[in-house]
Amino acid sequence: MTTLNAVTLRATLAETLNQVAYTHERVIVEKHGKPVAALVPIEDLKTLEALEDRIDLAAARRALKEPGRIPWEKVKKDLGL
């Protein structure tokens, strides 16, 4: 994994994006010596988003099993929808 500071990234953005896209290497971006962002291949982002969706779905299913939940129809009525 490569680490670049923001100034270097600005100067080499096109090359760095090609590196990420075609070699699937991740790049850490630092600002003032601290990591602040990462450039990742789009496939990695899609995998992360799918994982987040699974986690959200599991949390929603757990919440639906909790006692004392409010029916959707009541929420809509209370909000005037």
Q: Which of 7-11, 24-28, 36-40, 72-76 has the lowest mean pLDDT?
A: 72-76
Q: What is the pTM of this model?
A: 0.70
Q: Do residues 27 and 19 make contact, with C-beta atoms less than 8 angstroms apart? A: yes
pLDDT at 64 (0 to 100): 83
Evaluate if residue 80 carries a pLDDT over 90. yes
- Percent of the chain having pLDDT more than 70? 100
Residue with tokens 């919440």: 63
Tens digit of each residue's pLDDT (9 = 90 or more) over 53-76: 999 999 999 988 888 878 889 999
pLDDT at 31 (0 to 100): 96
Q: Where are the alpha helices (DSSP H) in 1-81?
A: 6-11, 13-23, 42-65, 72-79
